[in-house]
């Protein structure tokens, strides 16, 4: 099937894109890589009057360094993130998680910003962004910008802090240089969305865990950060036994879905197993 | 309607398209390039894979207007002077197809994979073709074809 008719604009700056959003109001829909939006339009689940393509705005592309932060333009593709040495060096967790998204063709088009704003609870980009303490820069009308912590960014299923008339422009990630990282994605067939995913990154000191960050995919309506587990891991040896007990309560307080791939209790069990695996792998054990 | 300028298989085109036109639709219905096929409604199957500025994309999941100013290569543009591309030849010689429906996309993705990684392991081949589904072959001979093409391409590179 093909999308319903729409008008198309392709602004070349953030200012023009925000102005186009203001002009067209709730008739407008922003197009990033299109890897979620185009299937939605083709199935006619949405039929915007105007599509605003962000693909011709150079300032939204690429990875740069700003002191102790990495700055990723919202329109940076998955493939560009995977090719970025700066991301591998300073935010390895993001690299590991993105390597599991979809397939090479979709990774050539899909963008980090599109994934975050789409906010599918089974999407693989939210949990690492949350675990790494990312900040999201949002542009609004009249040249205004605001910065939202990842913790406040994800509001509900497919709902984020990006309001009507606003654009996500940058993802700022505090550098985690030298931290080990692993994304443990559980699927039953290849090329599947996460049934559960766990993003873990660890700073090790002489065989024990000095600091840990853990994010969970598809364990609720938004990505979740497992702060109690992060604290319980501090000072632990990176052994199966020690990590197993530190992560045992990771599913407490989560509210995962029940569907054909598994019920909520199964997902809670998975989360404990996958967290142990992810933390041990991130610690190099 | 929006005017687009695209180069497809080495030929420049300038056309008026509706913004909602999918790239695959433009290729098939606009340019008659029916070598690229549509196998699904969900962007899962990969049958429609083409190269956009040299990297693989699912042409059912790209708008024709997004290709404005860019270069597209389809399965129809791979052969040179009637001579099959080494990946096409390897698919033919190792019986990597049965009904052949997935083949155009499989070959385009295999080319992309070999460009990124000239000497892939079996596992890397299977992962690189993760977004391309085949209902017939069980993938076994497709993997063999990519392995043979990798050898042919590397001996070609050494020879040239
Ligand atoms: C077959 C298939 C398999 C997939 N598998 C996975 C998977 O395993 N894991 C996974 O995580 N994802 C998967 N995806 C989804 C993929 O990751 C999408 O690319 C991603 O979710 C959206 O990014 P995009 O750049 O394509 O955004 P688009 O599809 O262009 O946009 C998505 C939404 O975000 C809005 N938007 C985009 N950018 C901005 C911005 N800068 N500011 C404001 N609003 C914006 C759009 O208006 C739209 O509502 C899969 C997709 C397909 C088709
Ligand atoms: S037709 Fe494009 S992925 Fe199936
Ligand atoms: S040969 Fe029939 S689908 Fe692959």
Among candidates A42, A51, A108 on the partner chain, residue whose Cβ is nearest the Cβ of B56: A108
Give the residue-averaged pLDDT of B153-157: 88
The whole-angstrom separation of Cα A129 and Cα A216 is 11
Domain finish residue from B56, B77, B98: B77
Would you tell me how many other CB atoms lie within 10 Å of the CB of residue B99? 10
For ligand 2, say whether the CB of B133 is within 6 Å of any of its atoms. no
Give B7 or A191, the one with higher predicted confidence: B7
Confidence band of B160 (pLDDT split at 50, 70, 90)? low
Do B63 and B102 fall into the same domain? no
Option in A2, A43, A104 nearest B56 (CB)? A104
B100 shares its domain with B155: yes
Q: What was the pLDDT predicted at B157?
A: 79
Substitution candidate for ligand 3 out of B37, B48, B102, B104 with most atoms within 8 A of CB: B102
Chain B CA closest to residue A8: B19
Torsion of CA B91, B95, B100, B103, to 10 degrees: -20
Residues B18 and B57 in one domain: yes
Does the ipTM exceed 0.90? yes
Q: Domain of B53: which CATH number?
A: 3.10.20.30
User: Phi-psi bin for B55: left (phi > 0), alpha (psi -120 to 50), beta?
Assistant: beta
Q: Average pLDDT, stretch B144-157?
A: 94
Q: Does B39 sit in the ligand 2 pocket, CB within 6 Å?
A: yes
Which range of residues forms the domain containing residue B144?
A: 86-159
Contact B80, B24 (CB under 8 A): no
Task: Judge if B24 and B65 occupy the same domain.
Answer: yes
Contact list in A for residue B56 (CB cut-off 8 A) is 104-105, 108
Q: State residue A285's pLDDT score.
A: 81
What are the b/e assignments for A258-280, b being 16+ CB within 10 Å? eeebbeeeebbebbbbbbbbbbb
Q: Which of B27, B45, B77 is where one domain is finished?
A: B77
- Which residue(s) pair with B92 in the sheet? none
The tally of domains found in chain B comes to 2
The pLDDT score that the predictor gives to residue A170 is 98
Q: Do B27 and B53 fall into the same domain?
A: yes
- For the residues B2-6, what does the mean pLDDT come to? 98
Nearest-by-CA chain B residue for A33: B62
B73 and B9 together in one domain: yes
Would you say residue B159 has pLDDT above 80? no
What confidence score (pLDDT) does residue A142 get? 84
pLDDT at A252: 96
What is the Cα A235 distance to its own chain's centre?
28
Euclidean distance between CA atoms A225 and A213, whole angstroms: 8
Which among A73, A270, A95 is positioned nearest to A179, based on CA atoms?
A95
Domains of chain A: 7-53 (3.30.43.10), 58-174 (3.30.465.10), 180-282 (3.30.390.50)
Q: Which run of H or E residues covers position A148?
A: strand A145-149
The pLDDT tens digits of the residues spanning B77-102 come to 999 999 999 999 999 999 999 999 99
Residues with pLDDT less than 50, chain A: none
Angular region, B135: left φ>0, alpha ψ -120 to 50, beta rest: alpha
User: B49 and B72: one domain?
Assistant: yes
Tokens coding B46:
């990969």
Final residue belonging to a domain, choices B21, B50, B77: B77
Give the ligand at the shortest distance from the Cα of A46: 1
B64 and B96 both lie in a single domain: no
Edge-to-edge order in the sheet of strand A7-9: A7-9, A50-53, A28-31
The model's pTM is: 0.97
Q: How many CA atoms lie within 13 A of A46 on its CB side?
A: 16
Q: CA neighbours within 13 Å on the CB side: how many for A8?
A: 24
Task: Say whether both B113 and B154 belong to one domain.
Answer: yes
In terms of domains, do B92 and B144 share one? Answer: yes
Using a 10 angstrom Cβ sphere, with 0-12 exposed, 13-18 middle and 19 or more buried, the burial of residue B112 is buried
Q: Tell me the per-residue pLDDT of B116-128, one tens digit each, with 9 for 90 and over.
A: 999 999 999 999 9
**Residue A102 Cβ contacting ligand 1 at under 6 Å:** yes
* CA-wise closest residue to A168 among A142, A190, A140, A199: A140
3-state secondary structure B24-53: HHHHHHHCCCCCCCCCCCCCCCCCCEEEEC
pLDDT of residue A141: 87
Q: Which residues pair with B63 in a beta bridge?
A: B22
DSSP secondary structure, chain B, as one string: -EEEEEEETTEEEEEEE-TT-BHHHIIIIIT--TTS----SSS-S-TTEEEETTEEEEGGGSBGGGGTT-EEE-GGGSSBTTBPPHHHHHHHHTT--SS-SSHHHHHHHHHHHHHH-SS--HHHHHHHTTT---SSS-SHHHHHHHHHHHHHHHHHHHH-
Judge contact between A53 and A10, C-beta under 8 A. Answer: yes
Q: Which residues of A touch B113 (CB under 8 A)?
A: 104
């Amino acid at each position: 099937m093909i999308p319903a008719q729409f008008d198309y604009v392709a602004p070349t700056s953030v200012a023009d894109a925000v102005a186009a959003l203001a002009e067209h109001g709730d008739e407008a829909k922003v197009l990033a890589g299109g890897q979620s939006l185009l299937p939605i339009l083709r199935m006619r689940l949405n039929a915007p009057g105007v599509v605003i393509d962000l693909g011709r705005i150079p300032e939204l592309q690429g990875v740069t360094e700003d002191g102790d932060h990495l700055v990723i333009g919202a329109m940076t593709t998955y493939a560009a993130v995977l090719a970025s040495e700066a991301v591998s060096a300073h935010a390895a967790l993001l690299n590991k998680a993105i390597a599991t998204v979809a397939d090479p063709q979709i990774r050539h088009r899909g963008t980090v910003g599109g994934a975050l704003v789409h906010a599918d609870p089974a999407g693989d980009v939210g949990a690492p962004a949350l675990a790494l303490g990312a900040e999201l820069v949002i542009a609004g009308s009249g040249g205004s910008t605001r910065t939202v912590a990842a913790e406040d960014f994800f509001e509900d299923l497919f709902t984020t802090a990006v309001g009507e008339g606003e654009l996500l422009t940058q993802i700022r990630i505090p550098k985690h240089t030298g931290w080990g990282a692993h994304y443990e994605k559980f699927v039953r067939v290849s090329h599947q969305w996460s049934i559960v995913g766990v993003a873990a990154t660890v700073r090790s000191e002489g065989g024990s865990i000095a600091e840990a960050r853990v994010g969970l995919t598809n364990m609720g309506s938004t990505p979740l950060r497992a702060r109690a587990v992060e604290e319980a891991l501090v000072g632990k040896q990176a052994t199966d036994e020690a990590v197993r007990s530190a992560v045992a309560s990771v599913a407490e307080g989560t509210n995962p879905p029940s569907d054909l791939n598994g019920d909520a209790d199964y997902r809670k069990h998975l989360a404990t197993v996958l967290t142990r695996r992810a933390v041990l792998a991130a610690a190099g054990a | 309607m929006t005017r687009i300028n695209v180069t497809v298989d080495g030929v420049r085109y300038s056309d008026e398209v509706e913004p909602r036109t999918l790239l695959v639709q433009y290729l098939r219905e606009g340019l008659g390039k029916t070598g690229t096929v549509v196998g699904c409604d969900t962007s899962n199957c990969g049958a429609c894979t083409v190269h956009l500025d040299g990297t693989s994309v699912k042409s059912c999941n790209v708008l024709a207007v997004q290709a404005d100013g860019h270069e597209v290569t389809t399965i129809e543009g791979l052969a040179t002077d009637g001579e099959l591309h080494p990946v096409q030849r390897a698919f033919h010689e190792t019986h990597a197809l049965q009904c052949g429906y997935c083949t155009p996309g499989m070959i385009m993705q295999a080319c992309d994979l070999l460009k990124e990684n000239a000497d892939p392991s079996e596992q890397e081949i299977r992962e690189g073709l993760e977004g391309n589904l085949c209902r017939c072959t069980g993938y076994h001979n497709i993997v063999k074809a990519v392995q043979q093409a990798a050898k042919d391409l590397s001996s070609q590179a050494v020879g040239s």
